[in-house]
Chain A
Amino acid sequence: MSKKSSVWFWLAGLALLPVGAWADEAAFVPEVVSVKERMSPGPNVFVNQMDMATSTIYIFSTKDLTLKGNVSGGSWGLATLSRDGNTAYMASGFLSRVAYGTGEDVLQIFDVPTNTVKKEITLPYKLTQYTPDAAQLRLSADEKFIYIQNATPATSVTVVDLEKGKVVKEIPSPGCYGIYPMENGYGYSAICSDGSFATFKLSPDGQTFTSQKSERIFDVDEDPIFLASARVDSDLVFLSYNGNLYRVSDASGVIRKVDVIPATKGAPGSWGASGYGVMTYDSEAGIMFMAMSSNRHEGTHHHGATEIWAYDMKKKKIVSRSPVKDISTIGVVKGEETNLFGLDIKKNIIVKYDINPKNGYSLKLSAQRTDFGFATMIMGAR
């Protein structure tokens, strides 16, 4: 090839280059951003993580603790779930400048499968700002009403009619705190400062109520109970700092003491309950799981537990004691199988335990995951 021909050859090649690039571009299919419309299927375990700005309900697979999604609200988020686990509720606060400014409390209603807000209901600006517990936001038995704990610090309960989508009542309850709904009809009980309970019974439209106070059930100074509770058959059960189970009945419209079970009796080492959500009941097995710690002293009642005790509510005896590390909240959730989940208060992880019914419902760690900060509530469909 002569020099002249060579120049023409290269010029022709250069001229054809864009055509080649264009041919590659034609073959390239650009990606398009989209939204996954629904979470991956399968049973879920929920963790409510309170924050002073943005609280979040994290949704994990019960199978392997894969994070499947979340929903989020404002500060000091209180949370609960519908019985089928398809609707999540969060009551929380929104300050106009996050750390200061004018405030608004809102009840958000989320569609769990799509992680989207279905409805917002503005609440009286009185919502309790307190470490979240199941006892602060509760649905009525038929899920028509939701009861919301207020504290300014004077305490009251806001009643929202979910069918009408509006606040229908505020019930003052000075000196009482916590919401423990009746199994039938409309109303709830609350724990009061003298160790008694007040029970509020509402009319079907939520507009009127009556209240009755019980006799003293426990000693607030010597044996205070946690806010955590469990339904055992038709009774309510509470756990005290000292590890005593208080079984009470609300069936008559006023709280009556049924039994007091000294679960730690005979166990050397000053054992007692420790954590936040310190108890959870496996109703099919009849087993109450309790977060427990030894060598307790004043001020250790919110520390992480070192053991989880399985207490057989029918046989009235401890059937196993499983060692754990820093677990402050526990919850039995039924997925493919029934598992116990715990929150590690130091590492901020969720831990899954397999339950062995053949060995006294003892626990074996089977998965764990870190994705969130300080959290005190585990929830699941019932």
Chain B
Amino acid sequence: MDNLIDSLLTWVDTRAEERMRRLAGRAGRRSFLHKAGGIFVGGTVLPMLPYDNSNGVAHARDVSDPNAIPDNCDYWRYCSLHGSLCSKCGGSVTQCPPGTTPSKVAWVGTCRNPKDNKNYLVSYNDCCGKAGACGEECTRQERDRPGYRMGLASESSWCIANGGSGVHCTVAVVVGMAE
């Protein structure tokens, strides 16, 4: 019976990843929010997503320095982020710091880029396996929902899918357009 339950929960996790990837590619924001309960983005498959190969960098340039992505919580793609910025821990906006592992699943935010006034889906993957502080946490949490809509729940550790290892920081990866 225990094996049956484990199989069921594993199946749910796997299907959630797959469904999220499909939805992220085609859903509008409203539709996305409606369907996103229990849906998660797999960090290891993000590079394979069939859209926005720039990973949002083209939309992320700062006005004064075209190569810079601001290290502060006000930056547009951090709209639903809850955690420390990996760019302050030795990583970058899309890279986990050395010695950590990206969470296999993530919560998702819908953020508006002021440069083009378009909404983008942003996957917030925790980077796991280390302790240590990286400055003040961001707590913008826009469109965050409690655990009953887990795919939007920023109060959860997403390292739970990596064997429950410690949360170090969070990256914000643009995975698609929301409208």
Interface residues of A (CB under 8 A from B): 52-53, 75-76, 93, 95, 98-103, 124-131, 149, 151-156, 170, 172, 174-178, 190-194, 220-221, 224-227, 298-299, 301-303
Contact = CB atoms under 8 A, between A and B. Distances in A.
A99 B127 CA distance: 12
A249 to B, nearest CB: 19
B144 A299 contact: yes
A100 B79 contact: no
A193 B131 CA distance: 32
Contacts, number: 142
A142 to B, nearest CB: 25
B148 A103 contact: no
Contacts of A191: 146, 148
B155 A99 contact: no
B77 to A, nearest CB: 14
A128 B5 contact: no
Interface of B: 2, 5, 8-10, 12-13, 16, 30, 33-34, 37-38, 40, 79-80, 105, 128-131, 139-150, 153, 155-161, 163-168
A175 B159 contact: no
Contacts of A124: 2
Contacts of B143: 298-299
Contacts of B159: 129
Nearest to A124: B2
Given A103-B164, A131-B155, A177-B148, A154 B80 contact: no
A302 B139 contact: yes
Name the residue among A93, A103, A153, A191 with the largest chain B CB count within 10 angstroms.
A153
A178 B164 contact: no
A299 B146 contact: no
B156 A52 contact: no
9 contacts: A99-B166, A99-B168, A103-B165, A130-B147, A130-B157, A154-B10, A193-B149, A299-B140, A302-B144
Contacts of A128: 147, 156, 160
Given A154-B12, A177-B148, A221-B34, A299 B160 contact: no
Contacts of A174: 9, 12, 38
B147 A155 contact: yes
| Most chain B CB within a 10 A radius of its CB, from A174, A191, A194, A224 | A174
A172 B10 CA distance: 11
B146 A190 contact: no
Contacts of A103: 163-165
Contacts of A152: 9, 13, 160-161
B157 A176 contact: no
A103 to B, nearest CB: 5
Contacts of A177: 146-148, 150
